[in-house]
Structure 1
């Protein structure tokens, strides 16, 4: 849930108040979408969760689709901040480890797992929802692929990997961890960090074990 906002009448601007109201609505919407899904959650549900009238809510968002688009854009801004970790790290493998930690901590909450899986499922069914989040996915892919290619050039990443497939496998693994954590109490931050470090080091470094041949049927 979004943090409470304490307003100082002497310093708060109209823009600040509008931003606070929008964040209040988005927090309420994410709660409703995580609880009921995009289809079943109604604007009335969001109004009730936000504690405001329909007329007030529609001053900020004209439709449920506009709210979903705003959530996608907020995710994009948050992701851009996390991807700065890669840019600041000389070693891309360690950068990816740090990025994974930041992302999983950001997404470790009461609503995040349900909302994450709902976005993926709805994107497969609904082209409009897919278009809203596809830019985020493509930007995440580009940032990680750039880091891996930089690592290959500097000799810290195995040049034999398929960069694009590797990136999507890592992204899918991250989504899977988010979805599974509520069903596995032992998936604590420290244990996940240790396993992810080992996995990425063994998978991405030069001199990793050779790829085994395909299993014959």
Structure 2
């Protein structure tokens, strides 16, 4: 039997997740069965279960993929772009969400995942961990800005990070509802609301 390459395994995994995204967006989590996922992916039950033991694992994988780029952006700013303003960081995050929504409708999937997490303790725990990672990365960036005098120290970095994190779900919800026209100016507004204090 020929050896299965890592590239092949990754391609099959992505094929399954693409099928899951389509099914979840079309029918919701509860109405989507594993049989639906087998049929949508065009793979056998064994091939799907080789990668995911349940729908919950697929949901978690999709949420993790959605947040990976956002986390990477926050870490990148902390490491490679420390002089970028907080407004620039948030605008970049918004741009990632917009692009990925156009490509994979992550806004719609995020709203579905949030609602599912209200009844699924395991998913809620995993979702909370991902949000904690993102809040931590953002807090690190804010602390660096405070040390450099680019952001006020009168409020804790944690509180500022939590406040900025509150803006993201509102944007995602409006995007999921198809309200793209009124959201066009959001990145510029974020830059204006949280400018680089050192440059102002």
* TM-score normalised by the chain length of structure 1: 0.76
Look up the match of 1:120.
114
- 2:47 and 2:135 map into 1 onto residues whose CA distance is 38
Look up the match of 2:15.
24
Per the alignment, do residues 68 and 185 of structure 1 end up closer, same or farther by CA in structure 2, a change over 3 Å counting? closer
- 2:63 and 2:119 map into 1 onto residues whose CA distance is 17
Select which of 49, 70, 82 maps to 2:73.
82
Select which of 93, 116, 124 maps to 2:85.
93
- 2:59 and 2:180 map into 1 onto residues whose CA distance is 30
Look up the match of 2:174.
180
**Mapped pair 1:14 → 2:5:** yes
Q: Displacement, 1:98?
A: 5.0
- 2:142 and 2:15 map into 1 onto residues whose CA distance is 38
**Mapped pair 1:138 → 2:132:** yes
Look up the match of 1:212.
none
- 1:171 and 1:31 map into 2 onto residues whose CA distance is 27
- Given that residues 43 and 64 in structure 1 are in contact (C-alpha distance below 8 angstroms), is that contact kept between their aligned partners in structure 2? yes
The Cα offsets for residues 162-204 of structure 1, whole Å up to 9 and x where unpaired, read as 4323322322211211220243241455x22211211222xx8
- 1:118 and 1:51 map into 2 onto residues whose CA distance is 24
Unaligned runs of 5+ residues in structure 1 are 1-11, 209-217
Q: Which moved more, 1:121-130 or 1:149-158?
A: 121-130
- Given that residues 92 and 150 in structure 1 are in contact (C-alpha distance below 8 angstroms), is that contact kept between their aligned partners in structure 2? no
- Given that residues 30 and 115 in structure 1 are in contact (C-alpha distance below 8 angstroms), is that contact kept between their aligned partners in structure 2? yes
Q: What does residue range 37-48 of structure 1 map to in structure 2 within 5 Å?
A: 37-48=28-39
**Mapped pair 1:51 → 2:71:** no
Look up the match of 1:164.
158
Look up the match of 1:215.
none
Look up the match of 1:70.
61
- 2:50 and 2:140 map into 1 onto residues whose CA distance is 41
RMSD between superposed Cα atoms in Å: 2.7
Q: Displacement, 1:137?
A: 0.7
- Given that residues 83 and 143 in structure 1 are in contact (C-alpha distance below 8 angstroms), is that contact kept between their aligned partners in structure 2? yes
3-state SS in 1 of match to 2:118: helix
Q: Displacement, 1:141?
A: 0.3
**Mapped pair 1:104 → 2:136:** no
* TM-score normalised by the chain length of structure 2: 0.81
- 2:119 and 2:107 map into 1 onto residues whose CA distance is 19
Q: Displacement, 1:145?
A: 0.8
Higher relative contact order (CA 8 A, sep 6+): 2
Q: Displacement, 1:60?
A: 2.5
